[in-house]
Amino acid sequence: MTLNDRRPVFDANAQGAGGLGKLPDWDLTDLYPSPDAPEFARDMAWLESECAAFAAKYEGKLADLDAGAMLACVQAYEAIDVIAGRVMSYAGLRYYQNTMDSERAKFMADAQDRITTFTTPLVFFTLEFNRLEEAHLSGLLAANSDLARYKPVFDRLRAMRPHQLSDEMERFLHDQSTVGSAAWNRLFDETMAGLMFEVAGEEEALNLEATLNLLTDSDRTKREAAARALAVVFDKHIKLFSRVHNTLAKEKEVEDRWRKMPSPQSARHLANHVEPEVVEALRNAVVAAYPKLSHRYYRLKAKWMGLETLQVWDRNAPLPTDAPRLVDWEEARATVTDAYAAFSPEMAKLAEPFFTKGWIDAGVKPGKAPGAFAHPTVTTVHPYVMLNYMGKPRDVMTLAHELGHGVHQVLAAGQGELLSSTPLTLAETASVFGEMLTFRKLLDGAKTQSERKTLLAGKVEDMINTVVRQIAFYDFECKLHAARREGELTPDDINALWMSVQAQSLGDAFDFMDGYETFWAYVPHFVHSPFYVYAYAFGDGLVNALYAAYESGLPGFEEKYFDMLKAGGSKHHKELLAPFGLDASDPAFWDKGLDMISGFIDELEAMEA
Residue 433 has pLDDT above 60, yes or no: yes
Q: What domain count does the chain have?
A: 1
DSSP state of 375: E
Residue 240 inside a domain? The answer is no
Cα–Cα nearest to 108, from 87, 83, 136: 87
Residue 336 has pLDDT above 80, yes or no: yes
pLDDT tens digits, 25-44: 999 999 999 999 999 999 99
Residue 14 has pLDDT above 60, yes or no: no
Residue 584 has pLDDT above 90, yes or no: no
pLDDT tens digits, 149-170: 999 999 988 988 888 878 788 8
Look at residue 528 and give its three-state secondary structure.
helix
Residue 248: φ, ψ to 5°: -65, -40
* Sign, Cα dihedral of 18, 20, 22, 27: negative
pLDDT tens digits, 259-316: 999 999 999 998 888 889 999 999 999 999 999 999 999 999 999 999 999 999 999 9
In the chain the first and final C-alpha atoms are separated, in Å, by: 45
**How many angstroms separate the CA atoms of 237 and 231, rounded?**
10
Residue 526 has pLDDT above 90, yes or no: yes
Cα–Cα nearest to 570, from 374, 421, 429: 421
Residue 541 has pLDDT above 60, yes or no: yes
**How many angstroms separate the CA atoms of 482 and 476, rounded?**
10
State residue 9's pLDDT score.
Answer: 24
User: Hey, which residues does 591 pair with through a beta bridge?
Assistant: none
State residue 442's pLDDT score.
Answer: 87
pLDDT tens digits, 215-231: 999 899 999 999 999 99
Q: Name the amino acid, one letter, at 443.
A: L
Which residues make Cβ contacts (< 8 Å) with residue 483, sequence separation at least 6? 489, 493, 497
- DSSP labels for 237-293? THHHHHHHHHHHHHHHHHHHHHHT-SSTTHHHHHHHT--HHHHHHHHHHHHHHGGGT
Domain around 121: 31-179
Contact status, residue 527 vs residue 248, Cβ threshold 8 Å: yes
**How many angstroms separate the CA atoms of 467 and 469, rounded?**
6
How large a percentage of the chain has pLDDT more than 90? Answer: 74
| Mean pLDDT value across residues 583-591 | 84
Which residues make Cβ contacts (< 8 Å) with residue 336, sequence separation at least 6? 351, 396, 399, 400, 403, 434, 438
State residue 221's pLDDT score.
Answer: 96
Which CATH number do you get for residue 112?
A: 1.20.140.70
Residue 166 inside a domain? The answer is yes
Residue 255 has pLDDT above 70, yes or no: yes
Task: Round the average pLDDT of the chain to a whole number and report it.
Answer: 91
**How many angstroms separate the CA atoms of 234 and 195, rounded?**
9
State residue 173's pLDDT score.
Answer: 81
**How many angstroms separate the CA atoms of 272 and 156, rounded?**
9
**How many angstroms separate the CA atoms of 577 and 320, rounded?**
41
- DSSP labels for 28-82? GGGT-S-TT-HHHHHHHHHHHHHHHHHHHHHTTTGGG--HHHHHHHHHHHHHHHH
**How many angstroms separate the CA atoms of 186 and 111, rounded?**
14
pLDDT tens digits, 316-326: 998 887 677 78
H helix intervals, 293-428: 294-304, 329-343, 345-356, 393-412, 417-420, 424-427
Highest mean pLDDT among 45-49, 525-529, 537-541: 45-49
- Over its C-alpha atoms, the chain yields an Rg (Å, rounded) of 24
